[in-house]
Amino acid sequence: MSVQQPAPPSSQSITWQIVAIVFHTFIAFLCIGLPIAVLPSYVHDHLGFSAVIAGLTIGLQYLATLLSRPLAGRAADTLGTRRAVTLGLLGVALSGALTLLSAWVDSLPLLSLSLLLVGRLLLGVAQGLIGVGTLSWGIGQVGVEHIARVISLNGIASYGAIAIGAPLGVLLVQHSDFAWLGVALIALALVALAVISKQTAPPVVRGERLPFWAAFGRVSPFGLGLTLASIGYGTLTTFITLYYLEQGWQGAAWCLTVFGACFILSRLLFVNAVNQWGGFRVAVACMSIETVGLVLLWLAPSTLFALIGAGLAGVGLSLVYPALGVEAIKRVPSSSRGAGLGAYAVFFDLALAMAGPLMGAIALRQGYASIFFCAALLSVAGVLLTLVLARTTRPVTY
């Protein structure tokens, strides 16, 4: 008598499993997006500190995320993915409490700023824990054959949450005061903690534990390709407003809207592309499209061409992270998946950290249009590197 095998889960079932996990990414990035548009003016205009300190308040969170990647990877591998995400959500709640306290003591600007900065550090560490934890949880839940889908949906959750959170934060402060941002962060974190308390995650995988830097070395060739492609994103988001001003145009924000819409739409439409055509092929195709978009931004004679360029850049960049990520994560054992994911994410963090000073220095000498040409050249370098990796890297299958 034969034993009937259970039917494999449907594509829709797998998607909903992933969505239930990346919900926590959405909450985390919503909490990151809420204060991002109002913090600089609060620190500069309300507390009375310089523009440099206002910029530091924003940048400190991203620095904390970058430096906490090893911790996040180890926590996901050793404590378990659900516990790592829970710790991150507790960090978000504590960051909200410090933001609330900062608003209450705004009559003492130095104390208020200090509380705010500590809260930003905690939010950065929380972002790292939740980002790596949800990715590792999703891959462990639905299987390594769905890595690309997990990374894609996680990215949609993060970008979508920031796009929603930034204007909501502005409206919240306009119609109440800064203290309510802290309340909102606490409330959102508590909602996510209530949800996660009812969820189960795969058990901790036993086996070889790679040190972070060993995992970093294994994923670095693919991470370098991600960095080369992602500098274009950092360039666009950082300098598009100044580029528009230099050209005498209006409506720079529409470039960011078009970029984000095309990015998310492409991930939704082509979520299975990596599994169908392979990570290397998809990465090469996407970087090529991104290059065309960046060149259009460089040569744009009008805002229409700039919008088309931004849209193509969004389409191109959309699948680079999951495409190269699939190839990178194959190189680390499943028991060190968190370390591998954390190490790979460092390269995206580096791209955003490098884009500002590097392209800013070029813009001072050559103008803002030239930075998109430079970003296009880096994207071409990413294409060439990926082609080399495709020819020289030993195939790995699960």
Angle of helix 69-78 relative to helix 51-67, nearest 10 degrees? 30
Sequence spans of domains, the chain? 14-196, 212-392
Asked if residue 324 lies in contact with residue 393, where contact means CB atoms within 8 angstroms, the answer is: no
pLDDT for 7 equals 55
pLDDT tens, N- to C-terminus, the chain (398 residues):
444 555 566 778 888 889 999 999 999 989 988 887 788 778 888 888 876 777 677 778 878 888 888 888 888 888 888 999 999 999 999 999 999 999 999 889 999 999 999 999 999 999 999 988 998 899 888 887 888 888 888 888 887 888 788 788 888 888 888 899 999 999 999 999 999 999 887 887 776 677 878 888 999 999 999 999 999 988 887 788 788 888 998 888 788 788 888 988 998 888 788 888 988 999 999 999 999 999 999 999 999 999 999 999 999 999 999 999 988 988 888 778 888 888 898 898 888 878 878 888 888 888 889 999 999 999 999 999 999 999 987 766 55
The end-to-end CA distance of the chain, in Å, is 31
> Torsion angle of alpha carbons 91, 192, 349, 79, nearest 10°?
70
Three-state SS letters, the chain: CCCCCCCCCCHHHHHHHHHHHHHHHHHHHHHHHHHHCCHHHHHHHHCCCCHHHHHHHHHHHHHHHHHCHHHHHHHHHHCCHHHHHHHHHHHHHHHHHHHHHHHHCCCCHHHHHHHHHHHHHHHHHHHHHHHHHHHHHHHHHHCHHHHHHHHHHHHHHHHHHHHHHHHHHHHHHHHCCCHHHHHHHHHHHHHHHHHHCCCCCCCCCCCCCCCHHHHHHHHHHHHHHHHHHHHHHHHHHHHHHHHHHHHCCCCHHHHHHHHHHHHHHHHHHCCCHHHHHCHHHHHHHHHHHHHHHHHHHHHCCCHHHHHHHHHHHHHHHHCHHHHHHHHHHCCCCHHHHHHHHHHHHHHHHHHHHHHHHHHHHHHHHHCHHHHHHHHHHHHHHHHHHHHHHHHHCCCCCC
For domain 212-392, the CATH class is mainly alpha
Closest CA to 377 of 394, 362, 356, 395: 362
- Two domains, one topology: 14-196 and 212-392: yes
pLDDT for 46 equals 82
pLDDT for 230 equals 92
What is the distance between the alpha carbons of residues 288 and 294, in angstroms, rounded to a whole number? 10
- Structural domain 14-196, CATH architecture: Up-down Bundle (1.20)
Residues 6+ apart with CB under 8 A from 389: 221, 222, 225, 280, 327
pLDDT for 378 equals 97
pLDDT for 207 equals 65
pLDDT for 389 equals 93
pTM of the model: 0.80
Please give the structure tokens belonging to residue 299.
Answer: 């040569």
Q: Which amino acid is at 257?
A: T
